[in-house]
Chains A and B, each alone.
Chain A
Amino acid sequence: MKAETRNAAAAAAVLLALCAVPFLAGKFTIYLAMRIMLLGIFAVGYNLLLGRTGLLSFGHGAFYAAGAYGLGLFGVHVSTHPLLGVAAGVVTAVLLALLVGTLCVRHTEIYFAMLTLACGMMAFSFFWNAREITGGDDGLIGILRAPVSLFGGIKMPIGKDGQFYFFVLFFFVLSVWAVHRIRQSPFGLALAGIRENARRSEFAGVPVRRYRLAVFVLSGAFAGLAGSLEALLESNARPFMAHWTHSAEPVLVSLLGGMSSLAGPLVGGAIFVGMREIVPRSTENWMLWFGIVLLVIILGFRGGVVGTLSALFRKAVAPGEG
């Protein structure tokens, strides 16, 4: 079997399994699956920046939070239509990412990481302090899940978790497909070129800084999408969504799953959410275990779960070449 056919078959199988979840699984599993998909959207978009372009941002929590607050405030002041709310969240995140990105893409490496960290924490302190607008440290609470009305007449309720699940699944599939297309596009290939050698890309005529800004804003849009969906899921928007410890999550997830593939951050997200939600039931010390897993991956398996498994698979298929 060719690699592409194999990947398409795997994607179809996963999609089928995801569609089956609300019919077969219990409430908690449905919730878990939604959290995994949210983190998946966040991480797969973020990895366009880290894995593809080689830029390490520690401020994407700000765009996540911008999505959540954007949806929440749009719901309070304009309309509670979920699709319009999500659009408002994404637009808010894009505008913020455009502003932050313009400031930050002049730098690379550690200065880029520190600048994005500072901008993210600036957003955090805004959400935390601007009590009249954002609700301060309580966050925005009581965000509604109104029915989705389409083309005038049809109304789809998303109030129950089993219904909202498909709303999340729709955006998850859309995001993964979009990121897949971006990675395959000439733009996506140019990003990989920038990662490998920015100067050579510049000489080849690639507008490096503009491309970096573009991918920064794109990844911010995915973060905003994930954030606005979380606001609907948890019916609140919290300042800690913008905190740097939350910005570190997509970095960890990409590393855990593997930065070089599309599937890496998705697998990493599933493992991360699983560890965070399930390990605390048997031990209080999930952070300790997660830290140890991180150490093992960094010291021994830098391809992440996906990279290591596919290397093993290639060896098994063609023992002579490996």
Chain B
Amino acid sequence: MQSYVHVILAGLSSGMFIWLVASGLTLIFGVLGVLNFAHGSFYMLGAYCSFTVLKYLGAGFWTGLLLGPLAVCVAGFVVERFFLRHVYRLALPYQLLLTFAFVLIFDNLVKIVWGGGALSPPSLSFLGGSVPILGRNFPVYNLFIIAVGPAVALLLWALLEKTWYGRIVRASSSDREMAASLGVRVPALFTGVFVFGTWLGALGGGLAVPYVGLLTPGMGETIIIEAFIVAVIGGLGSLKGAFVGALVIGVLSAFGTRFFPAFDMALTFILMGGVLLWRPQGLFGATQ
């Protein structure tokens, strides 16, 4: 019994990272209609920037978490404003490959700046250690992550549903032209949404610094695939779907790692294939 609880807790905490990355991805897809391969790179950049603030500027964890993702927002701004903006009207392969080009560029830039090897971050003084749950120890930091995920979800919900900006974002997402003709500055709004989505991904990266143990230049390529899967299972563009999808994938792969180590990765893909065959638009996606 206790081992089940621990597997579920481990699954929830890894699911929350996927949610943080998938939330930005989903928001960007929902509003801009672009599936962003480079989103994993923003996660990676967030981790590296937070790490740098943490280690070289001697700042605390919270400062790193604040400054790191903000620095990555600059990269997000440049990508949208000067590149992505020109391909909205083009066919899908061009959009995907443009963002893929940035995966190559960012991976390589990270190698140039931080070196190709793995970096190990300093251990945390607070939020470190573990607490006993049902007789076995569980890391405090993972509990913290399990709390951050729903907090971000709540923040996003409040922003989108309860504020004036949120209403405009939802309006432009459902009808770009109508919003523009009612006076919404759609291009500027797109840039804003993209930068905000970037920030979410980078925040996930910053939070991952104490969690993953090692930072490597390829760390974005793994999580972006998981985020894609989550976004597709939940229904592309649906934040609720991404949240549920991330929890399901997180817990499922935790059980997979624990009980069927040979198939932990295959399980998620099987789930995605199954969902798409049964409900092509995903769990919470609008019907096509």
A residues within 8 Å of B by Cβ? 50, 54, 56, 103, 106-107, 109-111, 113-115, 117-119, 121-122, 124-126, 128-130, 244-245, 248, 251-252, 255, 259, 284-285, 287-288, 290-292, 294-295, 298-299, 302
Evaluate whether A118 and B229 lie within 8 angstroms (CB atoms) in the complex, with A110-B236, A299-B83 already known.
yes
Query: Which residues of B (66-103) have their CB < 8 Å from a CB of A?
Result: 83, 86-87, 90-94, 96-98, 100-103
Contact with A along B260-288 (1 / 0, CB 8 A): 00110110011011001100100000000
* Residue in B closest to A255 when the chains form the complex, CB atoms: B97
Beyond A118-B273, A295-B98, list 11 extra A-B contacts (CB 8 Å). Answer: A109-B92, A110-B236, A129-B263, A252-B100, A255-B93, A285-B111, A291-B103, A291-B104, A294-B101, A298-B87, A299-B86
Q: How far is the CB of A109 from chain B (nearest CB, A)?
A: 6
Nearest A residue to B107, CB-CB? A287
Q: State whether A113 and B225 are in contact (beta carbons under 8 Å apart), knowing that A129-B262, A287-B104 are contacts in the complex.
A: no
Q: Of the candidates A54, A125, A259, A291, which one forms a contact with B263 in the assembled complex, judged by CB atoms under 8 Å apart?
A: A125
The answer to whether B108 touches A252, judged by C-beta atoms less than 8 angstroms apart, is: no
| Complex: chain A residue closest to B29, CB-CB | A110
The 4 closest A-B pairs by CB, nearest first: A291-B104, A291-B105, A294-B101, A125-B265
**B101 proximity list for chain A (CB < 8 A):** 291-292, 294-295, 298
Docked CA distance A290–B106 (Å): 12
A107, B276: Cβ atoms under 8 Å?
A: yes
25 residue pairs of the A-B complex, CB under 8 angstroms, read A56-B92, A56-B93, A103-B273, A106-B277, A106-B280, A107-B280, A110-B92, A117-B228, A118-B232, A118-B273, A118-B276, A121-B265, A125-B266, A128-B265, A129-B265, A130-B262, A248-B100, A252-B97, A259-B93, A288-B112, A291-B104, A294-B104, A295-B98, A298-B94, A298-B101
Cβ-defined partner of B273 (8 Å) among A115, A255, A291, A302: A115
Nearest to A51 among chain B residues (CB) is: B93
Q: Is B109 an interface residue (CB 8 A)?
A: yes
What is B's interface to A at a CB cutoff of 8 Å?
35, 83, 86-87, 90-94, 96-98, 100-105, 107-109, 111-112, 221, 225, 228-229, 232, 236, 262-263, 265-266, 269-270, 272-273, 276-277, 280
- Which chain B residue has the least Cβ–Cβ distance from A254? B93
B277 CB → nearest A CB, Å? 7
CB-CB under 8 A for A118 and B272, given A287-B108, A294-B104, A298-B87: yes
Q: Which of A56, A106, A111, A292: most chain B Cβ within 10 A? A: A111
How near does chain A come to B258, taking the closest CB pair, in angstroms?
Answer: 15
Min CB gap A21→B, angstroms: 30
Q: How far is the CA of A124 from the CA of B263 in the complex (A)?
A: 11
Contact of B93 among A115, A251, A292 (CB under 8 A): A251
- How far is A54 from B105 in the complex, measured between Cα atoms in Å? 27
Q: Smallest CB–CB gap between B40 and chain A, Å?
A: 12
Partner of A103, one of B94, B102, B277: B277
The answer to whether B273 touches A111 (Cβ under 8 A) is no
State A294–B102 Cα separation when bound (angstroms). 9
Complex Cα–Cα for A106 and B281 (A): 12
Residues of A within 8 A of B103 (CB): 291
Contacting residues, chain A, for B277 (C-beta < 8 A): 103, 106
Nearest CB in chain A to that of B272: its residue? A118
A298 near B273 (CB under 8 angstroms)? no
Pick from A113, A122, A255 the residue with the most CB of B within 10 Å. A122
Among A113, A125, A285, A288, point to the contact of B96 (Cβ < 8 A): A113
- Whether the pair A111, B86 counts as a contact (CB closer than 8 A) is no
| B98 contact set on A, CB distance < 8 A | 294-295, 298-299
Contact partner, B104, options A109, A290, A302, Cβ 8 Å: A290
Contact assessment for A285 and B228 in the assembled complex, using a CB-CB cutoff below 8 Å: no
Query: Across the interface, do A294 and B100 meet the contact criterion of CB distance under 8 Å?
Result: yes
Do residues B104 and A115 form an inter-chain contact, with CB atoms below 8 A? no
A255 cross-chain contacts in B, Cβ below 8 A: 93-94, 97
Nearest-neighbor residue (CB-CB) of A125 within chain B: B265
Give the CA-CA distance A112 to B150 in the complex, in Å. Answer: 31
Q: Which of B35, B100, B270 has the most CB of A within 10 A?
A: B100
Q: A121-B225, A294-B97 are in contact. Are A110 and B35 (CB under 8 A)?
A: yes
A320 to chain B, nearest CB (A): 30
Residues of chain A with a CB closer than 8 A to B102's CB: 291
A113 near B92: Cβ-Cβ < 8 Å: yes
Most buried by A among B90, B105, B277: B105
Given A56-B92, A117-B228, check contact A292 B105 (CB 8 Å): yes
Which chain A residue lies CB-closest to B231? A114
Q: Compute how far the CA of A262 lies from the CA of B167 in the bound complex, rounded to whole angstroms.
A: 48
Cα(A288)–Cα(B111), bound, Å: 10
Shortest CB-to-CB span from A63 to chain B, Å, is 16
A119–B232 CB distance below 8 A: no
Query: Which residue among A109, A111, A118, A284 has the maximum number of chain B CB atoms within 10 Å of its CB?
Result: A118
* Given known A115-B276, A125-B265, contact A50–B104 (CB-CB < 8 A): no
Q: Closest B-chain residue to A121, C-beta based?
A: B269
Please measure, in the bound complex, the distance between the C-alpha atom of A31 and the C-alpha atom of B246, giving whole angstroms: 45
A249 to chain B, nearest CB (A): 11
Q: Which single residue of chain B is at the shortest CB-CB distance from A56?
A: B93
- Chain B nearest CB: distance from A134 CB in Å? 12
Q: How far is the CA of A290 from the CA of B93 in the complex (A)?
A: 17
